Amino acid sequence: MKANIKIHSLFATLLLCLILTNCSSSKYVGEGQYLLTKNTILESGNKIKNKELYSLLKQQPNKKFLGIAPLYLALYNLSSPKKETSILKKTGKAPILLNYRLARKSVTQIELYYKNRGYLDVNVIFNTINKKHKSKAIYSIVSGAKYKIAHVDFALQENLKLKTIFDRLTVDSKIKSGQTYNFKELEEERNRISLEIQNSGYYQFNKEYIYYLADTNQATKTLNLNLIIKNVETTSDGTILKEPHKTGFIGEVNVYLSTLEAHLNDTTKLNGLNFIYPNGKVPFNLNRLSEKILLRTGMLYNKSFVDITYQSLSELINFKKISIEFVTIERTDKTALLSANISLLPGKKIAYSIEAEATSNPILNEGISGSASISHYNVFKGSEHIQLTYKGSGNFNNISENGLSLNLSIPSLISPIKLNRVLNKNSRTKTILSTSITKQERPQFTRNSITASYGYQWKTKQSYQHKLALFNFSYVNFEGDSTDLSEISEYLIAKDYSNHLIPTSSYTFSFNNQNINKLKNHTYLKLHIESSGNLLRVIAKPLNFDQVTDSSGELVLQENGKPTNTVNLWNKENIFTQYIKASVDYRHYWEVNKKNNIAFRAMGGLIYAYGNTSQAPFHKKFIAGGTNDLRGWKAFNRPTGMLSTTDTLYTGGLKLLSSLEYRFNVVKKLKGAVFIDAGNIWELKINNSKYSEANFTWGNLKNEIAIDVGFGLRYDFQYFILRTDIGFPIREPYQSKRLQWDKVNLNDSQLNIGLGYPF
């Protein structure tokens, strides 16, 4: 009944919008003007739905709410013509009036689009269907046949050395006789040849020196292509002179640790580089900087080395401005001696950040969490980044968690062995050290943990990043009676709520091909694998580690019949964990246009305990629910086949999750989203024999998938995005196997407040 009322209300709202629009749509349309209501593109009489083509049109009709009614136009039309700055005009949108000049530009853009794809005889005709004060624009395309390349000729003006390079490059050319003409492929070939020539020492060369001449044959629908490299043109006394391209050799490399215009009077020579700085004080670790600069005296100019140097210096985050310039010292007819001048203007050394999240549910507990951090980006004058962060949370029910962490990032590999021999010097590398202390308090127990880690991070390509955590130690100290923990998610083994040690090593690979400067679909992929306790387990027997015993001194065996070894730390017996963990996180983003996109995520993970422990640690297992997960449930309150209770924390050894979200622009900086999440967490049968209803089985998978739907608002504050999401749990596995649409109401909703997008 509630769902029916909501549907009727929605239709009533849309009907009202339509009535308001139709009644007043001509209010701001003058005599002889037409309101543009629709764009249609036809090819050979058939309507096409190519979104890229529609984005080329210089005029778009007023945006429609839910694709049905132009709500913003209706609001604008309700305003008074006498008031220029009314709230209705600010909120709404003025009518889009048909403009024939912009329509002709749209015709040109469509024709260019087709010509670039080989339809050189394309013709686009623009028409309108006018009715009263409204107009529908129609673009009719007659594409014709595609042209093919009959012959390709590579021509080069005088320069024997450059001709040798050019001839080598054209052997691998993608432009072949017989293939369809495509301007994009020609441009890619132009960029490829230009980069290779620049990497061969030609410091003044760019793609503008490469051009194509095309000779078309309309009868056969073919063309002959000539790819030409022209010489350098200079002007002397009004006369145009043509000179061959010159190769450049680096005569010196000057690194200015300030602007070139500043008064600099001290110079230090190191590794073939001249470091120039003011005030008699070296502001940076020069050895560290020299690692990031690939340019050296005597080297032939190489464009790729220049780009890698720029990227490596940018990743230090120490400089607000970086410039690399080449100045000619002397020249001959064929070569030039260059001075490479690198200017590094220091930025701010200290930064602060504050974040907060809140959740609310009438049935569950309200809670709030937050963090504050302070960073220094040159703490030891070697571009080291150190960050101190405090995190805290509470839910107003005597449950809280507080933690302090310290992270140090060093932009080079700190290792007793020469890892640069293993990792290419072109890789941007970091050494990362971190430590943290956390205190978790609940009515049943207090849990303290200390962690420390050491690892590396590097990039092999712009889109590929690797992280290797060589050592990660976590010590957990438990204060409380483990026999009273039957309602906690670690009900599976009380030992996890005793003192224990978690020694791990891990590797993470991530791929992200997003280009923030270009609107295109992109993908993110993250793979993670982690193991714990294997080395300690190997040495436990030869070193005669202690084992867990009862009050009478008898061994306490696990369910698999094996004893549990312990490590004596701070005069306490500490169980060390042994497990392997793997996860994959895949995301894909479809960019519909600049204001609308679709985001999809699928992730899965598994953690398997073996050997010294039959359960993985609580904070290493998977959770479900919360601001970035199943948004219809609070974090830790998403069970599998078990009945949920308000004071139970649930984790799992296996997790499956997927989310689909449509993101759209509401007005100006306010954005909206509608979403659906599906997934759950389970235990592994091999690690859990007591609570079988929590175990994962393929047969019950479809019946145990939890589903929520919801909507959210996001406001862009430029430096961060404030997000609110309201999720509705429409499928609770332990309650019903069907979708419960009556749950779409505020009483059953989960409010999530956070910063940034959920994925």
Residues 105 and 226 both lie in one domain? no
pLDDT at 547: 80
> How confident is residue 3, by pLDDT bands cut at 50, 70 and 90?
very low
Q: Is the pLDDT of residue 14 over 60?
A: no
Residues 121 and 32 both lie in one domain? yes
pLDDT at 126: 94
Instruction: Note the pLDDT tens digit of each residue in 659-707.
Output: 999 998 887 788 899 999 999 999 888 888 777 778 888 888 888 899 9
288 φ, ψ to 5°? -65, -45
Token digits of residue 330: 């002397």
> How confident is residue 408, by pLDDT bands cut at 50, 70 and 90?
very high
- The tally of domains found in the chain comes to 5
Residue 421 included in any domain = no
- Burial category of 619 from C-beta neighbours within 10 Å (exposed 0-12, middle 13-18, buried 19 and up): middle
Residue 470 included in any domain = no
For 140, residues 6+ apart whose C-beta sits below 8 A from its C-beta are 42, 43, 45, 124, 125, 126, 127
Count of alpha carbons within 13 angstroms of residue 415, beta-carbon side: 19
Residues 52 and 131 both lie in one domain? yes
Report the CATH number that the domain containing residue 290 is assigned in CATH: 3.10.20.310
Strands, sheet with 266-270, edge to edge from the N-terminal-most edge strand:
266-270, 273-277, 247-256, 335-346, 319-331
Give the separation between CA 548 and CA 573, rounded to whole angstroms: 8
Per DSSP, helices labelled H in 228-284 are: none
The parent domain of residue 79 ranges over 2-142
Residue 79 included in any domain = yes
Residues 342 and 379 both lie in one domain? no
Token digits of residue 538: 């190997």
> How confident is residue 586, by pLDDT bands cut at 50, 70 and 90?
very high
Q: Is the pLDDT of residue 526 over 90?
A: yes
Q: Is the pLDDT of residue 18 over 70?
A: no
State how far Cα 250 lies from the chain centre: 37
Q: Is the pLDDT of residue 62 over 90?
A: no
Distance set, CA 234 to CA 228, 237, 243, 266 (Å): 19, 10, 8, 38
Residues 339 and 378 both lie in one domain? no
Residues 163 and 126 both lie in one domain? no
Q: Whose structure tokens read 């080079």?
A: 412
Residue 552 included in any domain = no
Average pLDDT over residues 342-361: 76
- Report the range out of 13-17, 233-237, 417-421 with the highest average pLDDT: 233-237
pLDDT at 170: 73
Residue 263 included in any domain = yes
Give the separation between CA 680 and CA 705, rounded to whole angstroms: 6
Least confident among 218-222, 284-288, 491-495, 623-627? 491-495
Instruction: Note the pLDDT tens digit of each residue in 246-294.
Output: 899 999 999 998 765 556 678 889 888 999 888 777 778 888 888 889 9
Closest CA to 344 of 331, 364, 325, 370: 325
Chain-wide mean pLDDT for the chain? Answer: 81
Instruction: Note the pLDDT tens digit of each residue in 527-578.
Output: 999 999 888 888 887 777 878 777 677 777 776 667 888 887 766 777 888 9
Residues 47 and 110 both lie in one domain? yes
Residue 322 included in any domain = yes
> How confident is residue 1, by pLDDT bands cut at 50, 70 and 90?
very low
Q: Which of 142, 177, 204 is the last residue of a domain?
A: 142
pTM over 0.75: no
Residue 732 included in any domain = yes
Average pLDDT over residues 52-67: 81
Closest CA to 328 of 432, 159, 146, 203: 203
Residues 192 and 304 both lie in one domain? no
Closest CA to 382 of 321, 436, 324, 317: 317
Residues 159 and 130 both lie in one domain? no
Share of the chain above pLDDT 70, in %: 83
> How confident is residue 84, by pLDDT bands cut at 50, 70 and 90?
low
pLDDT at 279: 75
Residues 759 and 636 both lie in one domain? yes
Residue 595 included in any domain = no
Q: Which of 97, 118, 142 is the last residue of a domain?
A: 142
> How confident is residue 490, by pLDDT bands cut at 50, 70 and 90?
very low
Q: Is the pLDDT of residue 516 over 50?
A: yes
Residues 256 and 224 both lie in one domain? no
Instruction: Note the pLDDT tens digit of each residue in 166-177.
Output: 777 777 787 888
Q: Is the pLDDT of residue 479 over 90?
A: no
Average pLDDT over residues 393-415: 82
The Cβ of residue 496 has, within 10 Å, a number of other Cβ atoms equal to 27
> How confident is residue 363, by pLDDT bands cut at 50, 70 and 90?
very low
Residues 703 and 630 both lie in one domain? yes
- Report the range out of 91-105, 301-315, 485-499 with the highest average pLDDT: 301-315
> How confident is residue 481, by pLDDT bands cut at 50, 70 and 90?
low
pLDDT at 137: 92
Average pLDDT over residues 84-106: 81
CB 411 within 8 A of CB 292: yes
Q: Which of 243, 259, 288 is the last residue of a domain?
A: 243
pLDDT at 156: 65
pLDDT at 2: 47
Nearest-10 crossing angle of helices 183-198, 160-171: 130
